[in-house]
Amino acid sequence: MTGFSDITAVFSTQYYYRVRAYNAGGDSAYSTEASATTPASPGGTGSGSIVREVWTNIAGTAVSAIPTGTTPNLTYTLTKLEGPTNWGVNYGARIRGYITAPNSGNYTFWIASDDASQLWLSTDTQPTNKVKIAEVTGWTSPEAWNWFSSQRSGPLFLNGGLRYYVEVLHKQGGGGDNIAVGWARPGESKSAPSQVVPGAQLSPYSTTPVVIPAAPSGLDAVAVSGIQINLSWTDNSTNEDRFKIERKTGANGAYAQVGEVAPSVTNYNDSGLLPTTDSYYYRVRAANAGGDSAYSSEVGASPLPSVPAGPNGLVATAVSSSQINLIWADNANNETGFKIERKTGATGAYSQIATVGAGAASFSDTGLPASTTPFYYRVRSNNAFGDSIFSNEAQAATLPSTPAPAPPAALAAVAGNTRVALV
């Protein structure tokens, strides 16, 4: 095997690599060093503002009391995701629009308010896909981010350059009032927001109907390795916000979204696949705030033939003075079987003792001698293209053999009137 795909790399990073061969005799010298720098993460900005709608003369502090299905009394423009402080009493407000992620990665959001508030974020630009990610059920001081655990979202992966619908609901009763949403971007401390979400990443929501984009066409899938298939297609629209990529395994599998790319991008590399003799199938659609386009045509491809992934999690357990049981995790779906090797003692030499079929994840090594010296094991999968790397090494010693007891001696029988006593 003379190739490898590093799927753990991140954007804008230079990586250095070296390779060496190995066998039972040990490791070779290293190859020359090679390096490569990954491209910058796709980025993007918004239009600089977001809209705040206000309904006045609404008593109480329950967010559910905000009449969002009616026309607001007032509408304002905000230049960051923060409303005014001490603006008024007995009102409900909604801030809605879009957040554009500046870079790809995990984001954490916080909300602070007086009185109650909720923060909703969609998986795309469509409001119907929004989910509540944080809330204040009582009240906080301005930008007091950590009074309640509910104020903070979990980590949310956003793709750089893509827009996401965001909605903030705020209900003010009496006394002071405030509302703000902050975030920690990828790589920043998650103890508190690094900033209030700035206007540069915000765009206002529009009530004007949006035309759904045209479907992409010409979808093509090309396998470039045993774990990666590259996709390309033709963009037939000018108003998409993103493309959504879906995949299924096998002709009878179920489709699920595996990725999305920014508008005008017409390729996607699907990496980290399991080597398989079956095919992966793909379809793509364009999307914007108006909805999703029809799907492209379906296309299938199989990763290039390759050796199977190696097993791991090998555990050896002695169950008697002559048997040790092995279990492991099967990480491949293209193996034809597994090879089990054993050695006696840490300095022994490994040799193959058995094979088991595809999908097996256990083996019982029987006929062993009782010994305090541990037996060592390792397992690898194989197919027509070769052997995988070995699993981790596991060891166990058989249980001690318990000898049969010696026979009793000097047995005597003493007869009584109605019984015989043995002594």
- Write the pLDDT tens digit of every residue in 78-117: 999 999 999 999 999 999 999 999 999 999 999 999 999 9
126-177 confidence digits (pLDDT tens): 999 999 999 999 999 999 999 999 999 999 999 998 999 999 999 999 999 9
- Give the pLDDT of residue 39: 62
- Give the pLDDT of residue 129: 95
Q: Name residues whose C-beta falls within 8 Å of residue 300's C-beta, 6 or more positions apart in sequence.
A: 221, 251, 279, 280, 281, 282
What value, to the nearest 5°, has the Cα angle with vertex 281 and ends 278 and 286? 170
- Its CATH class, for the domain covering 211-301, is mainly beta
Q: Position of tokens 């050796």?
A: 307
**3-state DSSP assignment of residue 24:** coil
- Give the pLDDT of residue 401: 78
355-402 confidence digits (pLDDT tens): 999 999 999 999 999 888 999 999 999 998 889 999 999 999 999 877
Q: Which of 200, 235, 224 has the alpha carbon at shortest distance from 80?
A: 200
Question: Given pLDDT bands bounded at 50, 70 and 90, which one contains residue 342?
Answer: very high
Comma-separated ranges of CATH 2.60.120.1560 domains in the chain: 50-204
CB 392 within 8 A of CB 314: yes
Backbone angles phi, psi at 127, to 5 degrees: -60, -30
**Predicted confidence (pLDDT) at residue 45 exceeds the cutoff of 80:** no
- Give the pLDDT of residue 400: 87
**Predicted confidence (pLDDT) at residue 193 exceeds the cutoff of 80:** yes
Specify the DSSP class assigned to residue 6.
-
**Predicted confidence (pLDDT) at residue 13 exceeds the cutoff of 80:** no
Mean pLDDT rounded to a whole number for the chain = 91
Instruction: Report, as an integer, the average pLDDT of 2-10.
Output: 64
Q: List the 312-318 sheet strands across, edge first.
A: 312-318, 324-329, 362-365
**Predicted confidence (pLDDT) at residue 9 exceeds the cutoff of 70:** no
**3-state DSSP assignment of residue 65:** helix
Give the alpha-carbon dihedral of 286, 205, 160, 222, to 10 degrees.
0
Q: Position of tokens 């607001």?
A: 72
CA distances to 4, 25, 251, 399 from 18, in Å? 12, 20, 39, 44
- Give the pLDDT of residue 36: 83
**pLDDT above 90 coverage of the chain, percent:** 74
- Tell me the residue length of the chain: 423
Per-residue tokens: 110: 């916080």
**Predicted confidence (pLDDT) at residue 404 exceeds the cutoff of 70:** no
| 50-204 to CATH, choices 3.20.20.30, 3.90.226.10, 2.60.120.620, 2.60.120.1560 | 2.60.120.1560
Question: Given pLDDT bands bounded at 50, 70 and 90, which one contains residue 327?
Answer: very high
- Give the pLDDT of residue 72: 97
280-320 confidence digits (pLDDT tens): 999 999 999 999 999 999 999 988 888 888 999 999 999 99
Specify the DSSP class assigned to residue 399.
P
Comma-separated ranges of CATH 2.60.40.10 domains in the chain: 211-301, 312-396
In 168-270, alpha helices (H):
none
- Torsion-angle region of 239 (φ positive above 0: left; ψ -120 to 50: alpha; else: beta): alpha
Question: Given pLDDT bands bounded at 50, 70 and 90, which one contains residue 199?
Answer: very high
- Give the pLDDT of residue 41: 52
Q: Position of tokens 């209030």?
A: 196
**3-state DSSP assignment of residue 23:** strand
Instruction: Report, as an integer, the average pLDDT of 226-231.
Output: 91
- Give the pLDDT of residue 22: 81
- Give the pLDDT of residue 46: 80
CB 4 within 8 A of CB 15: no
- Its CATH class, for the domain covering 312-396, is mainly beta
- Give the pLDDT of residue 384: 83
Specify the DSSP class assigned to residue 82.
B
206 or 196, which is more confident: 196
Specify the DSSP class assigned to residue 398.
P
Which of 1-10, 107-116, 249-258 shows the lowest mean pLDDT across its residues? Answer: 1-10
